[in-house]
Each structure stands twice: as structure tokens, then as C-alpha cells.
Amino acid sequence: MSELLDKAQNFENETAAKIAASKELQAQRPQFHLASPSGWINDPNGFSFYNGKIHLFFQYYPYENIWGPMHWGHVTSTDFINWHPEKIVFAPDESYDCGGCFSGTAIEDAGKHVIVYTGVTGINSPQVQCVAVGDGETYTKLDTNPIITEKDVPFEFVHEHFRDPKIWKDGDTYYLLAGMRSKAKGGIFVLFTSHDYKSGWKFASVVDESDFKIGAMWECPDMFPLDGKTVAIFSPQEIKAGCPKGFNEGNNSAYMIGCFDKITCKFTRDILPASDATAAMLDYGIDFYAPQTMLMPDGRRVLIGWMQNWEVKITPPEYPWTGMMTIPRELHIKDGWLYQTPVREFDLLRGEVVTKVVAASEVSAYDAIFACRHGEIDFEISEDAATDGKGKLELRLAQSRDKKTFVSLFFDTKMKTLTFDRSHISIPGKTFCRTMELPTSKNGKITFRCILDTCSLEVFINDGQAVFSNIFFVPAEHDEISVHNNLSEDVKFTFYKMK
Ligand code: FRU
């Protein structure tokens, strides 16, 4: 073990012990989402099933709650909910990754756990692809690293934007898909193949390209078969406002559905229903980025994302940790869209259930109708539940007893939008609001499944047709939930506390 790895491990152990010993520090943390053990985490990495367990690695700087030279942290699980801490697997301790071990993925191969990742030596230095092999606990970086460099790419591109390899094997061929910034086309996916993952990687194709329409750089590519189609997911950077429709300015995470041709190694996109778009947002919230997927032995394709973003960092500076992952989500294609639903293991967490009906036009003084910071809230409304022109339903969550501090989820039937507003929590200069257009439903009803866990709210709309994930930090004792119903219909809420 290198000195750097040893040092990081000791530091993580110390912080984890500090958090475990403090009720106050524990109360800030989510209960059923994976959160950083110490310091900063970002992208999920190496999400895979190996040796009877679900493995999840993550981009990690254990020393402070800011991004720094990337290590890889590691946890394992058998149910996607309870995560067992494992030892940190990588520190930036080799000549080709001394600036950081950036994102990557993992597969099982001949009994071994094979990881591909990006090595960087500095912020503006060329990015190279590397391999490490392990047994689920410790991993060894190969002597043949780096296995792919800028010299293996037969066209012009920006060398410091070539990263986040996704590996898979088909027959006796290994495939490695990386994100890249091409000078001519903006964000692209580039594919390499090899018959031996340790060496011999050859450029195969540019699988798909943005042409500057969906961002200038495509980070964290993933591509996998699902329900008879191929799905590609990626995190495009530098999206221009309004282009494409539904995307936000800056970084986004998106999916495309289509076909992958194994002979030409090209991806052809389908046009998504009810639009002329070929890419849609994976999550419309403020806090979602860099997701990746894994395949379970039972055939489920499961996605996990980083529940934060690069642009607005709101974790209080005094926290010894920052960064969480989403609830893992099962994926399906339905009516031409990608649907995401919380893994079914999550349902087993549901405990005490309470239902409350809030009558039409019941505009209270925001009195609490329920108190909870870890639970699920389900409700359904009609798309056209507005008769008087008001047509609004507001839920306030994490509300303080004096009602001054809260976050709000705001449904507007006239505009057909859902808004998350965290401007009533005191983060100087960091107030923020996000509005999304709601998907149209077939039966005129819109369903909401809201998952609340201390400092995050994930809303699954129409059984996962769209998702809206947002985070916030307020003291744990602010746990009131209140409702303003300005719709023309009663709304029935089902609240579940978590076991
Ligand atoms: C995405 C990303 C990746 C990179 C990693 C660095 O969030 O920028 O492209 O590998 O984070 O931590």
C-alpha cells in the first residue's frame, strides 16, 4: 500500500469515528442514502455486482469538504440501502495519475474485478485511461498503464478532456467508451476495443457526437441494452440555455434511446415521443450529475447518480463531509421514454403510514399536517385541477416551528410546472429555485412519489417518467410538513415514516 493511500485511509477512519461519536453530526446526515464518509465525494464509480455483492466506488477527497486530488472511496451492499464501508482503493500515487484518479467503471472478468479509470497529472494535462485489477477489497494498478493515451486517437481533440471510461465485454472483445471534447464537434463518445484489457486497445469509432447541439464536452458516458433498445447516458457540459428544450444552462445529465450497431460501432438515436428531440434530461432537479448504471444478476439495470452539482455548492462549510448519492433507481423503457423508479428494496423501508386529505381550496396558515425528515410522501392530482385561475398546490418541508425556514415544492396546474424553491433557507448568496415542465400523462392524473431524507428530496413523477432531485441543509429539528391546497380538488397525501 502506498503512503498516500495509507494516509487517506487513516484520515477517513478518524473522521468516521468523529461522526459516529457525535449525535449532532449524525443528525445532519441522510439515513438511507450513501453520504460521504469524510470530506468530499462526487461521481459514483465502478458501480457493479462482483463476488455476491454490489460494489460502489466514488470520486473522493477525504481531507476537506472541497474537491481535491481524486482518490476512489469504496462501499459494498447487498440491498442498495445499507452500505458497508470498505477501504479506499486508489490514491493519486502513480506518475500517470498523480493529479487524480478520475471516474471510471468496473466489470467482473474471469473471477477478477477489473476497473478502468482516467489518470490525470494536472488540471490542463492530457488525460489517459488506466486499468486496475482487484478482488473486491484491494486493487492493483497495472504495470502496463496507461493503456490508452492521446496518441491512440486518430483525430484532433482537446487532450485534457478525454475521460470517464465505461468498460464492457461482448464475446471475447472488450469495449471501452470514453467521453471527449472534439475540436470539430464538441462532446463526443469515442470507442476502443481490445482482446486483452491489459493492452492492445485500438480506436474503433466515434459512437455519437453533439455537433455542439448538446454541449461542448460529454462526461461520464454509459451505454447498455434495455428492453430491446440501447440506452446511452452522459453528462454534457456547457449547454446553452434553451438548447435543447428542457435542458438547463451549464451541466446536465441526459439519456438517448436508440440502437448500437456492432459492425460500424455507431449509435443511432430514436426521436423521443411527442417531440423532435433525441435527448432528454435524466433528472430535472438542481442536484443530479454523473450517473452510471450496473446490471444485477436478476436482470435489473440500476442507475445511481451524484446528488449534488458543480455550479451551486450549498453544504455548510463546517460540515466534515459533503456529497451524497441518489436512491438507486431501476430503469425501464415505456412508451419510448426512460422510466426510473426507486429500487424495490427501498419499499421494505416503509414503516408507519398516515393518510391525510387536504380539502380543495384549503389555504391554511401553513400549519403542520405531518412531521418527518426521513420518509415518503405520495399524492396524485388532476392535470386540470384549477377552476379559479389559481391552480396551485404547495408543500413546505423541513419547516421550522416559527414557519420562517422551509423548502417548498410547488405545483402549478395552469403552467403545468413543478418548482423546488430553497430560497427560504438561510444560505447567503446561494438561494436557488428550479422549475421543470411536467410530463403529460395519459389519464389526466399526475402522480408524485417524494422521497425525503434529512437533506434531500427526490420526486418521482408519473411512476418515474420524470425525476426531480434537490438538496438543502437545515437543522434536523425543522421537520414540519405543511400544505397549501389552492386546487379545485381534494388531495390525499400518504406519508410513510422510514423504519
Ligand atoms: C464529472 C467529472 C468527471 C471526472 C470527475 C473528476 O463530475 O468532472 O468527468 O472524471 O468528475 O472528479
> Each residue of 482-492: pLDDT tens digit?
999 999 899 99
Ligand 1 pocket by Cβ (under 6 Å): 42-43, 59, 70, 102-103, 118, 163-164, 219-220, 289-290
Write the residue with the smallest CA distance to atom 9 of ligand 1.
Answer: 219
Beta strands in 275-424 (DSSP E): 280-281, 289-295, 301-306, 321-322, 329-334, 337-342, 350-358, 363-371, 374-382, 392-399, 407-412, 417-421
Q: What is the pLDDT of residue 137?
A: 98
The per-residue pLDDT for 413 is: 86
CA torsion 233-235-240-242 (nearest 10°) is 40
DSSP H helices, 292-399, are: none
User: Could you tell me whether strands 321-322 and 39-50 are parallel, antiparallel, or unpaired per DSSP bridges?
Assistant: parallel
Q: In a mutational test of the pocket of ligand 1, which residue from 163, 235, 311 has the highest number of ligand atoms less than 8 Å from its CB?
A: 163
Q: Determine the residue of 103, 117, 123 to mutate for testing ligand 1's pocket, defined as the one with the most ligand atoms within 8 A of the Cβ atom.
A: 103
Predicted pLDDT at 275: 81
Q: What is the pLDDT of residue 391?
A: 79
For range 49-77, the mean pLDDT: 98
CA–centroid distance, 172 to ligand 1, in Å, is: 30
pLDDT band at 363 (very low <50, low <70, confident <90, very high): confident
pLDDT-derived band of residue 387, with 50, 70 and 90 as boundaries? low
Cell 437545515 locates to: 474
Measured in Å, residue 312 CA sits from the centre of ligand 1 at: 16
Q: Cα of 201 to ligand 1 centre, how many Å?
A: 23
Range among 105-114, 209-218, 430-439 with highest mean pLDDT value: 105-114
Q: Kindly report which listed range (312-326, 414-428, 469-483) carries the lowest average pLDDT score.
A: 414-428
Mean per-residue pLDDT of the chain: 95
The pLDDT confidence band at residue 431, using thresholds 50, 70 and 90, is low
Distance from Cα 406 to the centre of ligand 1, integer Å: 31
Q: Which helix (H) or strand (E) holds 25?
A: helix 23-27
Of 99-113, 292-306, 416-430, 451-465, which range is least confident?
416-430
Alpha carbon nearest to ligand 1 atom 1, residue = 290
Which of ligand 1's atoms lies nearest the C-alpha of 310? 7
Predicted local distance difference test score (pLDDT) of residue 47: 98
Question: Residue 480 — very low, low, confident or very high, per pLDDT cuts 50/70/90?
Answer: very high
Q: Tell me the whole-structure pTM to 2 decimals.
A: 0.97
Q: How many angstroms separate the alpha carbon of residue 163 from the centre of ligand 1?
A: 8
Q: Which of 58, 71, 97, 102 to mutate to test the pocket of ligand 1 (most atoms within 8 A of CB)?
A: 102
Per-residue pLDDT, 432: 83
Name the residue of 36, 41, 42 to mutate for ligand 1: max ligand atoms within 8 A of Cβ. Answer: 42
Give the nearest ligand 1 atom to 103 CA.
10
pLDDT one-digit tens code per residue, 124-178? 999 999 999 999 999 999 999 999 999 999 999 999 999 999 999 999 999 999 9
How many Å lie between the centroid of ligand 1 and the Cα of residue 164?
7
The band of 274, judged by pLDDT with boundaries at 50, 70 and 90, is confident
349 alpha carbon – ligand 1 mean position (Å): 32
Task: State the pLDDT at residue 58.
Answer: 98
Q: Which atom of ligand 1 is nearest to 67's Cα?
A: 12
Cis status of the peptide bond prior to 146, with omega within 30 of 0 = yes
pLDDT mean over 206-225: 95
Q: Rounded to an integer, what is the distance from CA 91 to the centroid of its chain?
A: 23
Beta strands (DSSP E) in 29-141 are: 39-50, 53-61, 71-77, 84-85, 100-109, 112-120, 128-134, 139-141
pLDDT of residue 279: 95
Q: Considering only 192-206, 239-253, 334-348, 401-415, which range has the smallest mean pLDDT?
A: 239-253
Looking at residue 428, its pLDDT comes to 62
Cα–ligand 1 centroid distance for 43 (angstroms): 6
Q: What percent of the chain has pLDDT over 90?
A: 88
Taking the centre of ligand 1 as the mean of its atom positions, its distance from the CA of residue 137, in whole angstroms, is 23
> What average pLDDT does range 58-73 have in this prediction?
97
CA–CA distance from 446 to each of 190, 360, 377, 385, 386 (Å)? 39, 16, 14, 11, 14
Q: Are strands 39-50 and 71-77 parallel, antiparallel or unpaired?
A: unpaired
Predicted pLDDT of residue 153: 96
Task: Look at strands 374-382 and 392-399 and give their pairing.
Answer: unpaired
